[in-house]
Structure 1
Amino acid sequence: MLIRDAVPSDEPSWRKLWADYVAFYEAEVPEEVTAKTWERLIRKQDGFFCRVAETSGEVCGFSLSVLHAGTWTTDPICYLEDLFVDPEHRGRGIGEALIRDLVAQCKAKGWSRLYWHTRASNTTARSVYDRFTSADDFVRYRLVF
């Protein structure tokens, strides 16, 4: 398995995985948002970046993250916004490897923290996430405009 930065030629594979990820969350993302997301990931605009997991030459998973400033530290903070592994490739440690990759980047680049969230009912993902740290006691509030 290889974990690397996404490159423009990964777009078809990423789009398939992205569509499956969005469907998993029973959501809809307009094409213009998907296109803009890919552009920002590839150009590493606005702090966005994408790492992909590749096995046997096939992109089978991704992590989408945002690097941002914070008020409690002077070092950058990494928010793992999305992580997805193709269902046919699950159970092989790919999700864990994607997180370990981000942990290594945080340490190597001097980022102050890495955080993410998931649905409380997403027990499959949580069984992986719990290997890294326990969920905290914060509650998320969200306004959508």
Structure 2
Amino acid sequence: MSCTIRAALPSDEATWRQLWRGYCDFYGTQLPEEVTNRTWKRILDPDSQVMCVVAEVDGQVYGFAHCVVHENTWETQAVCYLEDLYVTPAARGHGVGTALLEWLRNAMRAEGWARLYWMTKADNAEARRLYDRFTQADDFVRYVVRLK
């Protein structure tokens, strides 16, 4: 598949919502509609740190990457956190995920981000096969404290 990677557009909303549901289903989570609505608004807001790029093949969107570019205390440049990456099951193994990660790696170089980083579940073997082609997992363990 020859992918075009581009910023999400307002006209992508219905497709994005369908992909977003697939992503949430994969992780076994149900988010309140207000969270999904707020996420979409932030994606379209040029002043938001949340960005979304989509992978398009022949006019059809098959995947997305949500990222947050932010300052940090370990480098002088900003870093990019790849928060979510999703490709429709039918398009997996055809280079869509690779194209999204390559685009982000190129954006890292062009924008001068110190690093691009992400995480996935330890048992997500399909994603880890893709990610291992870009870099090896480090030895950090994630802790989460929730407000509720």
TM-score by length of 1: 0.98
Aligned to 1:30: 32
Percentage of pairs with the same residue: 51
Determine if the alignment matches structure 1 residue 4 to structure 2 residue 9: no
CA-atom RMSD, angstroms? 0.8
Q: C-alpha separation between the residues in 2 aligned to 1:120 and 1:110?
A: 29
Higher mean C-alpha deviation, range 7-16 or range 44-53: 44-53
**Which of residues 51, 59, 62 is equivalent to 2:61?**
59
In the alignment, does 2:67 pair up with 1:88?
A: no
Return the alpha-carbon distance in structure 2 between the equivalents of residues 60 and 44 of structure 1: 23
TM-score, structure 2 length as denominator? Answer: 0.96
Residue 96 (structure 1) shift: 1.0
CA distance in 2 between partners of 1:133 and 1:38 (Å): 29
Letter in 1 for 2:62: C
Question: How far apart in 2 are the matches of 1:138 and 1:117?
Answer: 10
Aligned partner letter, 1:37: T
* Structure 1: 5+ residue stretches without partners: none
Superposed displacement of residue 45, structure 1: 3.8
Runs of 4+ in 1 over 6 A off after TM superposition: none
**Is 1:20 aligned to residue 13 of structure 2?**
no
Name structure 2 gaps, 5 residues minimum: none
Shift of residue 44 of structure 1? 3.6
Residues 9-52 of structure 1, C-alpha deviation per residue, up to 9 Å, x if partnerless? 00000000000000000001110000000110111443110000
Q: Does 1:97 align with 2:103?
A: no
Counterpart in the other structure of 1:143: 145
For 1:119 and 1:34, the matched residues in 2 are separated by: 22
SS at match of 1:27: coil
Do the aligned partners of residues 95 and 73 (structure 1) sit closer, same or farther apart at CA in structure 2, a change above 3 Å counting? same
Partner of 1:106: 108
| Letter matched to residue 8 of structure 2 | A
